[in-house]
Amino acid sequence: MKPLNIIIAGAGMGGLCAATALRQAGHQVRVYERAPELAPIGAAISVWPNGVKVLDALGVGAQVEAVGGWMQHMSYSDHTGKRLTRFDLAPLYTHAKRRAFPIARSELQRILLAAVGEQNVTLGVSCEGYVEESDAVTVRLSTGESVEADLLVAANGTHSALRSAVAGQAIEREYCGYVNWNGRIDADPQLAALDEWTQYVGEHKRVSLMPMGNGQLYFFFDVPLPAGTANVREDYRIELQQHFRGWAPPVQRLIERLDPAAIARVEIHDTQRVPRLVSSRVALLGDAAHAMTPNIGQGGCQAMEDAWVLAQCLGQGEGVAAALKAYEAAREDRVASLVAKARKRAAVIHGENEVETARWYADLAGADGRDILDGLIKTDAGGPL
């Protein structure tokens, strides 16, 4: 296919990966980002091997590896600190032929922005809407200008204002019943081992600590709560102390040490299956196409996979509309199944059905990790690389 003129809405990890992949394929790309400056929301992200392999293909895997965390084991303890299970992640890494790398979101963004080239990203300008013709798409910008392109990639996140037009129906975000606080903290063996993803579960809540590189741990707390509870930064520590009263000493230490000014508090949402991921000149990508709960750590990894697959499909030379159909066919079942899997994990972890959650706690006690590893391997094996 001749080089295309492509507009990407959104400079999150999905938009930046797409821009890198499409530029590498020889297309001309302009990214418009609504925010006046790029400041990631949230501390870190775990990039599982299926995502890392895309980053390798985009030429940035080694940079991610250099600054990412080294996670070799995974453990679960109950809320009192009693160890339920601990196992090695080696079987996953061997099968996937790549490790996972938890990484600071700011580092990932820096690496991807450099790969795209800052000159190709326009900050402070959003894509407000579009009109498709048979051979082009005209994108309306927040500046009042209209710009024409061969293709618009809507990588504008979970709140995407472009999604419903592509899907052909209104797509609402759905609250998944719990709140997540996340941040970073200096690593210390009194909090968690530096080579381990450490998790505490109980009372339908969860605490997680994960090495994220640069001598830091990425932590999060999950608590089932009704929608719309007060989000008052000054109260975060007291809130967490109340939710986690009586939990293990490392959890108490974490709450004492964290900096409330530097953490995010997020009500977790997802979207049901989006019925159409493309129209003739527009493709949805990343959270705009498939917002999912973070419970399987795949939202960002799937955005990376989308980016890679889209560039491959456009390389097949059948024309834009056919390439977009091929992209949709390659992605729709994969992402829908992971959205559903992530929602199911959230339900089990957070006590949507108390009997199932109690069974999960019981299964974890003494587990050898094989079931968890099988799930991780299956997710990896379903990826494009």
Ligand X SMILES: Cc1cc2nc3c(=O)[nH]c(=O)nc-3n(C[C@H](O)[C@H](O)[C@H](O)COP(=O)(O)OP(=O)(O)OC[C@H]3O[C@@H](n4cnc5c(N)ncnc54)[C@H](O)[C@@H]3O)c2cc1C
Among 7, 13, 274, 284, binds ligand X (CB under 6 A): 13
| Residue 10 engages ligand X in binding (rule: CB under 6 A) | yes
What is the footprint of ligand X within residues 91-130 (CB under 6 A)? 126-127
Binding mask 184-223 for ligand X (x = CB under 6 A): ----------------------------------------
Q: Does the CA dihedral 30-34-36-38 come out positive or negative?
A: negative
CB of 84 vs ligand X, minimal distance in Å: 21
Number of residues that bind ligand X (CB under 6 A): 34
Q: Return d(Cα 74, Cα 40) in angstroms, integer.
A: 26
| Residue 69 engages ligand X in binding (rule: CB under 6 A) | no
Among 182, 199, 271, 312, binds ligand X (CB under 6 A): 182
Q: Return d(Cα 55, Cα 235) in angstroms, integer.
A: 38
What is the footprint of ligand X within residues 284-303 (CB under 6 A)? 286-288, 294, 297-301, 303
| Residue 35 engages ligand X in binding (rule: CB under 6 A) | yes
Q: Return d(Cα 315, Cα 115) in angstroms, integer.
A: 20
CB of 142 vs ligand X, minimal distance in Å: 8
What is the footprint of ligand X within residues 148-177 (CB under 6 A)? 155-158, 161
CB of 125 vs ligand X, minimal distance in Å: 7
Give pairs for 340-346: CB < 8 Å, separation 24+: 340/273, 341/296, 341/379, 342/270, 342/292, 342/293, 342/294, 342/295, 342/296, 342/298, 342/299, 343/176, 343/270, 343/292, 343/293, 345/293, 345/295, 345/296, 346/176, 346/177, 346/178, 346/268, 346/293, 346/295
The structure tokens 């061997």 sit at 94
| Residue 15 engages ligand X in binding (rule: CB under 6 A) | yes
Among 29, 42, 137, 357, binds ligand X (CB under 6 A): 42
Q: Which of 287, 13, 278 minimizes the C-alpha distance to 166?
A: 278
Question: What does the binding site for ligand X look like in residue numbers (CB under 6 A)?
Answer: 9-15, 32-35, 42, 45-46, 126-127, 155-158, 161, 180, 182, 266, 286-288, 294, 297-301, 303
